[in-house]
Amino acid sequence: MFHSGFVTILGRPNAGKSTLLNALVGEKLAIISPKPQTTRNRIQGILHLPKQGSRPAAQIILVDTPGVHKPDSSLGRKMMTEVREALDACDVVLVIADAARRLDPSDSFVLDLARQARARQLQTRPSMTPVFLLLNKIDLIKPKDRLLPLIDEYRKLHDFQEIIPLSALKKDGLALLLDKLVAALPAGPRYFPEGQFTDQPMRFMAAEIVREQILLDTKEEIPYATTVVVDQFEENPKLTRIAATIHCEREGQKAILVGKGGQMLKKVGTAARLRIEGMLGTKVFLELFVKVSPGWRDSREFVEQLDWRRQLERIFGLD
């Protein structure tokens, strides 16, 4: 008996989706930051679980979604399309909510999305896609019975198959989550070979690390006005050469990104290089360029360039 399937993690920005994914897969895959909307692309973490007691062996493919928000630009629309696509192809939906916050209208927006997935899948599946509610950040809730009114409020909004309080950060409640998940997944094949943890190539991860470093080192509008494209990625046994361009929207932003005498770019580059070296296990030579590309966020073509599959297709001349 082997269980397998695709699991979508859905939730408002900052609910803890990326933290949960990382806690489950045990590697730093998704990009985590205290600022919302840092996850722009779907990142799959793959969990290989051996048989344990009455729990059968299983493979869980986790699909991280961009933060759910109202689309306000081409990039925003692409993010929402990805959320919908992720929902259409999954076996269990995990709705993750911040238990330290009160419910507000955007929580219902997330639940509406989960409900739509169920409705669509009813046409092709004999049973409904289960939706679990994960009440995250319970490490911030003391005493624990303060959770009860919130659980009641959520129950009124939706008939969840499971409601599981947990802390993704402290890795509390994850074992129970895994047991319930495996039980809810259908019998199925091993989709990915053992030992594979993500289907995202290193090239894309490097761009995400540079982007996260910009998020950490600069303020306000800068991170949201920038995107990072890796132009060169050359892997040798001891040294990896990476060249990347940071695109921003205005000269003023470029000035901030470069900094006085190039200091900001140097700071971002050094920190990102150290982290990429940790990920690749080789020395890294990282070259960063800053370019003003006005209105990149509204250019459909540009946003599609960011998609790593398309990048690979272009590099290998498949299109």
Instruction: State the Cα–Cα distance between residues 88 and 118, nearest whole angstrom.
Output: 9
Q: Single out the residue of 3, 4, 24, 39 in contact with ligand GDP (rule: CB under 6 A).
A: 39
Question: How many Cα atoms occupy the beta-carbon half-sphere of 171 within 13 Å?
Answer: 6
Question: Nearest approach, Cβ of 46 to Mg ion (angstroms)?
Answer: 18
CA distance 166 to 180: 13
How far apart are CB 33 and ligand GDP at their closest, in Å?
6
Residue whose token pair is 């039980």: 183
Tokens (6 digits) for 199: 């289907």
Query: How many other C-beta atoms can be found within 10 angstroms of the C-beta atom of residue 184?
Result: 18
**136 scored as a contact of ligand GDP (CB under 6 A):** yes
Residue 34 found at the interface with ligand GDP (CB under 6 A): yes
Dig out the tokens for 230 from the structure: 């890796």
Q: Which is nearer to Mg ion, 40 or 203 (CB)?
A: 40
Our finding on whether 39 is near Mg ion (CB under 5 A) is: yes
Does position 82 bind ligand GDP by CB under 6 A? Answer: no
- Judged by CB under 5 A, does residue 8 bind Mg ion? no
Joined tokens for residue 24: 């489950």
Q: Do residues 32 and 19 make contact, with C-beta atoms less than 8 angstroms apart?
A: yes
Torsion of CA 266, 269, 274, 277, to 10 degrees: -140
- In total, the chain counts a number of residues equal to 319
CB under 5 A: which stretch of 38-46, 54-62, 74-82, 138-146 binds Mg ion?
38-46
15 binds ligand GDP, rule: CB under 6 A: yes
**Cross-strand bridge partners of residue 230:** 244
Binding ligand GDP (rule: CB under 6 A), the pick from 17, 247, 273, 275 is 17
Q: Which of 4, 8, 14, 18 binds Mg ion (CB under 5 A)?
A: 18
Site size toward ligand GDP (CB under 6 A) is 21
| Helices 105-122 and 74-88, packing angle to 10 deg | 50
Residue 74 makes contact with ligand GDP by CB under 6 A: no
40 binds ligand GDP (CB under 6 A): no
Q: Cβ of residue 287: shortest distance to ligand GDP, in angstroms?
A: 28
Residue 15, binding choice from ligand GDP, Mg ion, none, Cβ under 5 to 8 Å by partner class = ligand GDP
> Which residue matches tokens 């669509």?
120
Tokens standing for residue 195: 């030992």
Between 139 and 168, how does the x/- string for binding to ligand GDP read (CB under 6 A)?
xx--------------------------xx
Q: Provide the minimum distance between the beta carbon of 220 and Mg ion in the complex, in angstroms, as a whole number.
A: 19
Q: Output the smallest distance, CB 64 to ligand GDP, in A.
A: 7
223 near ligand GDP, judged by CB under 6 A: no
Strand, coil or helix: 278: helix
In terms of DSSP H, where are the helices of the chain? 17-25, 74-88, 105-122, 147-157, 174-184, 202-217, 221-224, 251-258, 263-280, 300-306, 308-315
Name the minimum Å distance from CB 259 to ligand GDP.
Answer: 25
- In whole angstroms, what is the distance from residue 28 CA to residue 197 CA? 10
- Contact of residue 202 among ligand GDP, Mg ion, none (CB under 5-8 Å per partner type): none
Q: In the complex, which residues of this chain contact Mg ion (CB under 5 A)?
A: 17-18, 39
Q: In the complex, which residues of this chain contact ligand GDP (CB under 6 A)?
A: 11, 13-19, 32-34, 36, 39, 67, 136-137, 139-140, 167-169
